[in-house]
Amino acid sequence: MRIIAGKAGRMTIKVPHAVARPTTDFVRQGMFSILGDLVIDACVADLFAGSGALGLEALSRGAGSCTFVDESTHAVKTIRENLNTTRLQNGRVVNSEVVSFLKKDLIRYHLIFADPPYVKHPLDTEWVGKILDSGLLLPRLEKGGMLYAEVSSKTPAPENPDWKLVDRRQYGSSAILLYQAEATSAL
């Protein structure tokens, strides 16, 4: 896996294969093409970070800062190694379950990335819907900010009255969902 563009473009990063399903280069390229200049100087959160590929790509493309959150100690160690290898600045790594982190965090973000494990079995947690329904994301999002979520292409986009799905794109077995707070999207 590698960083696609920016200051650390083409640099290889490690992936904690035991705990992560990394976002492919193809999907990241598509997503960052959609986001464009929204990344520049943005305060970013990378939830369910895994290798940190989404946040690292954002930092490489000019994001002002990124908070990486993952509950796996192996993933956290890998993200720290990737930050060191790429020499990207302003990365903060937090070892925490995402909902617990959101309950304590006080930072407001321009972009929030959520790339949780895909639902594979009926009893699996559908994390995107869970965090949308939690009410914990809205206070963490700057006015006009965006939530990027990645789900299986077979998963319908979770709905919530506080959030508007502004874009859905499918890339093979993955789908990316872009949400804005409903009050913001009406402006």
1: in domain: no
127: in domain: yes
Contact 46, 52 (CB under 8 A): yes
Tell the burial category of 123 from Cβ atoms under 10 Å away from its Cβ (0-12, 13-18, 19+). Answer: exposed
4: in domain: no
The number of domains in the chain is 1
pTM (two decimals): 0.92
Query: What's the pLDDT at 64?
Result: 98
Q: How far apart are CA 56 and CA 9, in angstroms?
A: 10
19: in domain: no
Digit-by-digit pLDDT tens for the chain (187 residues) are: 889 999 999 899 999 876 667 777 888 888 899 999 999 999 999 999 999 999 999 999 999 999 999 999 999 999 999 999 999 999 999 999 999 999 999 999 999 999 998 776 666 778 999 999 999 999 999 999 999 999 989 889 999 999 999 999 998 888 999 999 987 554 4
Contact 52, 68 (CB under 8 A): yes
Instruction: Write the CATH number for 61.
Output: 3.40.50.150
7: in domain: no
18: in domain: no
Query: What tokens appear for 43 in the block?
Result: 């305060």
The domain in which residue 126 lies consists of 25-185
Q: Checking phi first, is residue 36 left (phi over 0); if not, alpha (psi -120 to 50) or beta? A: left
Query: What's the pLDDT at 186?
Result: 44
12: in domain: no
Query: What's the pLDDT at 20?
Result: 61
64: in domain: yes
